[in-house]
Amino acid sequence: MKNNSFYSTYVKRFLDIVISLMVIVLLCWLYAILALLVRTKLGSPVLFKQDRPGYKGKVFKLYKFRTMTDERDADGNLLPDEIRLTKFGKWLRSTSLDEIPEFLNILKGDMSFIGPRPLLVQYLPLYSPEQARRHDVRPGLTGYAQAHGRNAISWARKFELDVWYVDHISFVTDVKIIIDTIKTVIKKEGISSATSATMEPFNGHN
């Protein structure tokens, strides 16, 4: 591994704790407002909770503000994402405000501020050995792939960028990713793929 092990093991975790604690305390008012809006517009529960694989594939519970309704068809199956994703939900995603409950995950140590995004548990057996290396670091609130294409790039390219980050972790790299992520959010780039409201499921080949 080419990354700075001292930074990634000690300094990075210290910064994660300090930053996440500051955000949670200073933005408690924003958490309250968003929770009220989600409850009013989308119903309960306010938080979306889902199992995701973290460091070394260990599964944890991810927290996000929900952005979709629970609308179902006549057989009780959830409708497609593009139907359940409301205008308010799209706004939450475009601003990335749906992600801020993940600072609780960062504080707990499930995640880091910067790292490969935590994906679905069912993808674990589909990764190639090289792609699976994305789990050699804690998953992040944002990452190299999010700052360079988000959902608009292919899965293959996304995993290439994730593994590149694993091999090049440094304070400078993380600062650059933060700056690039801010630019991406402001421009509202890469929110959806070309054929999906979010991102097509990974099937081991795409």
User: Is pLDDT of 190 > 90?
Assistant: no
- Cβ atoms within 10 Å, residue 120: 13
Nearest Cα neighbor of 71 from 58, 63, 83 is 83
Q: Is 54 exposed, middle or buried (0-12, 13-18, 19+ CB in 10 A)?
A: buried
Give the H/E segment covering residue 1. none
Q: CA-CA distance, 184 to 149, in Å (whole number)? A: 8
pLDDT tens, residue by residue, 19-28: 999 999 999 9
pLDDT tens, residue by residue, 131-159: 999 999 999 999 999 888 776 788 999 99
Residues 6+ positions from 91 with CB-CB distance below 8 Å: none
pTM of the model: 0.85
- Beta partners for residue 49, in sequence order: 63
Which residue type, as a one-letter code, is found at position 68? M
